[in-house]
Chains A and B, each alone.
Chain A
């Protein structure tokens, strides 16, 4: 009886010590993540300038649908999302399958080189890209010298090409990052599966779609969700390459929130409403991606 009691005491003590280990992080995450989230939700029902906010119900939410700048930002963000994310994921998958070949030489060099863009800060590489893609920049002069174009392309100044420049930039920065995830997943696939497929006469393409893609599906899902979340919050690149221009042609939702809060006369309530549109999109898109991946599984 005594023994059982003291055992219980040790247990109880264990429970308390356990909480002291995790307490600080729990408090920090509640203060700096969940509390602001709730605050933003409350603010999204308020309007006013600066800190003089009043409750106005759903007026901010109805304003979203008449706000052409918001609609432009959403459109731009979705153009980036629908073109850039699939291109990057397919490219990263393709590269990692090539690199996973055991007979390939210079593997380490290729892997390091392709991963290298990940060490740059988003600001630093954005400025470098802005200069490379300038009207009189190196990219234009190379294309002109190779006679691929007759007149310089407005990579930064033309509404269409500016979007392309942003897409090229993000793809350059993040393809290697995604490749690393696929490579480490590929290393866990048993080579005998491919051997068996080869003996059965399966072509490389068939092996790719029949073995590699299904086995990598969880990691493809993971990377496409993180890339989607990242793209929905795109800010640094657009801010530093095009500033959202020309004429809002590259403006993103995050940048619009920034402008609403810190550039124009601070409209915190409406900015919070716009920010909640990102939250809703992330939830919907993540759910959709899970659903698509799940269905193919069944």
Chain B
């Protein structure tokens, strides 16, 4: 009885695991095959990887899109960590009743659906374009600015700051460090793992972000990887091998981050509820 139950547990988990992995396998294998073979349902690695890649480089702005995506996500990550950690630290270390109220108001922003903000945000940046084209529509700034500050990340840093030993603060003050000095020289190095988790979660969502870039980035020169993949995928006569290698390339950065830093990855995801 117990044995057969065990068997079904393994069977069930194996099926779920296979279903979870299969689309990845299919996409990697198909990126090495000719489009015709993909349509025929070939499930063995082929020899067309380089040919597919070459075609992708020749027919699309792959390098440009990769560069745009990297630029946007790395800038977003650095700025987001700085803004949110300063705030999380400030709300916790310099706690006051007014600040707690402000903090709770900020948390409310997590309930606001992006769909409800996208039209006013678009109009905001469209009117900025008239005055300061450098941060208006179709610029890197317009993608970064509305998404760089999230209440989630502030909350995440505040929760982690609760674990930060307060004696270190006192020690810093006695040594005559300024408050900012304490933050940068003591807090930041001590909280490395928190920063790592925050960096992963921010990088992931920025790298994968689609709807807002779709609205503000309107020229091929500013396109990010998700926009490139989406455009390729909506074609009527798709070249499967070529499109799937684009998807593989677009997935590599986040997959790498996941495999190299699994622990911090999970900490970043669940950090808010612990």
For residue B93, which residues in chain A have a CB less than 8 angstroms away from its CB?
18, 21
Segment of A29-37, A56-64, A155-163 engaged in the interface with chain B: A29-37
Whether, in the assembled complex, A22 has its beta carbon less than 8 Å from a beta carbon of chain B, the answer is yes
Is A24's CB under 8 angstroms from B250's CB?
Answer: no
Does A219 interact with chain B (Cβ within 8 Å)?
yes
Question: Which among B19-27, B51-59, B190-198 touches the partner chain?
Answer: B19-27
B residues 240-274 near A (Cβ < 8 Å) are 240, 243-244, 247, 250-251, 254-255, 257-258, 262, 266, 269-270, 273-274
A-B contact pairs, 22 of them (CB 8 A): A19-B90, A24-B149, A25-B83, A25-B84, A25-B149, A25-B154, A26-B106, A28-B148, A29-B109, A33-B112, A34-B109, A40-B119, A43-B119, A110-B13, A113-B17, A116-B21, A123-B208, A124-B208, A127-B247, A176-B20, A236-B211, A272-B120
Partner pick for A121 among B250, B266, B270, CB 8 A cutoff = B250
A138 near B119 (CB under 8 angstroms)?
A: no
Flag whether B89 is at the interface (Cβ < 8 A): yes
Task: Write out the residue numbers on chain A whose beta carbons fall within 8 Å of the beta carbon of B9.
Answer: 98, 101, 104
A128 touches B117 (CB 8 A): no
B94 touches A15 (CB 8 A): yes
Residue pair A138, B262 in contact (C-beta under 8 Å): no
Given contacts A117-B23, A127-B243, A180-B269, 12 further A-B contacts (CB under 8 A): A18-B95, A22-B102, A25-B149, A32-B149, A33-B112, A35-B120, A95-B16, A98-B13, A116-B258, A119-B258, A128-B26, A131-B238
A20 and B90 CA atoms in complex are apart in Å by: 8
In the assembled complex, A125 has its CB within 8 A of some CB on chain B:
yes
Q: Given A117-B20, A121-B251, are A28 and B83 neighbors across the interface (CB < 8 Å)?
A: yes
Asked whether A261 is an interface residue with its Cβ less than 8 Å from the other chain, the reply is yes
- Stretch of A80-88, A190-198, A250-258, A290-298 with 4 or more beta carbons under 8 angstroms from chain B: A250-258
B131 contacts partner chain A, Cβ-Cβ < 8 Å: no
Interface stretch among A1-9, A146-154, A205-213, A276-284?
A276-284
**Smallest distance from the beta carbon of A232 to chain B beta carbons, Å?**
7
In the complex the two chains form, is B210's CB within 8 Å of A122's CB? yes
A248 interfacial contact with B, CB 8 Å: no
By beta carbon, the residue of chain B nearest A18 is: B94
Q: How many contacting A-B pairs (Cβ < 8 A)?
A: 239
A interface residues (Cβ-Cβ under 8 A, vs B): 14-15, 17-22, 24-26, 28-29, 32-37, 39-40, 43, 51, 95, 98-99, 101, 104, 109-110, 112-114, 116-132, 136, 138, 141-142, 172, 176-177, 180-181, 184, 219, 222, 229, 232-233, 235-236, 239-240, 243, 253-254, 257-258, 261-262, 268, 271-272, 275-276, 278-279, 282-283, 286
Nearest-neighbour CB distance to chain B for A207, whole angstroms, equals: 14
For B17, the closest partner residue in chain A by CB is A113
**Are A123 and B230 within 8 A (Cβ)?**
yes
Q: Indicate if B118 sits at the interface (CB-CB under 8 A).
A: yes
Contact check, A233 vs B113: say whether CB atoms are below 8 A apart.
Answer: yes
Q: B140 at the A/B interface (Cβ < 8 Å)?
A: no
**What CA separation (Å) do A254 and B117 show in the bound complex?**
11
Residue of A nearest to B173 (CB): A10
- Given A99-B13, A112-B262, A121-B226: A222 touches B273 (CB 8 Å cut-off): yes
State the Cβ distance, A221 to closest chain B Cβ, in Å.
Answer: 10
Nearest CB to that of B218 among chain A residues? A262
Q: Return the contact of B208 from the options A17, A121, A239 (Cβ within 8 A).
A: A121
> Known: A176-B20, A240-B233. Is A22-B113 also a contact (CB below 8 A)?
no
Give Cα distance in the complex from A160 to B270, angstroms.
35
A19 to B89, CA, bound (A): 11
B residues in contact with A279, CB < 8 Å: 112-113, 116
B87 adjacent to A36 (CB under 8 Å): no
A268-B123, A275-B113 given; A132·B91 CB < 8 A:
no
The smallest beta-carbon distance between B13 and chain A, in angstroms, is 5
Nearest chain A CB to B25 CB, angstrom units = 11
A121 touches B210 (CB 8 A): yes
Q: How far is the CB of B117 from chain A (nearest CB, A)?
A: 4
Residue among B24, B89, B207 with max Cβ neighbours from chain A (10 Å): B24
**A64 to B115 Cα, complex, angstroms:** 17
Please state if A17 and B94 are interface contacts (CB–CB under 8 Å).
Answer: yes
B84 touches A119 (CB 8 A): no
* B185 proximal to A (CB < 8 A): no
A272 — which chain B residues lie within 8 A by C-beta? Answer: 116, 119-120
A33, A35, A142, A229: which has the most chain B beta carbons within 10 Å?
A: A33
Contact B149 A43, beta carbon cutoff 8 Å:
no
Counting chain B CB atoms within 10 Å of each CB, the highest count among A21, A95, A261, A276 belongs to: A21
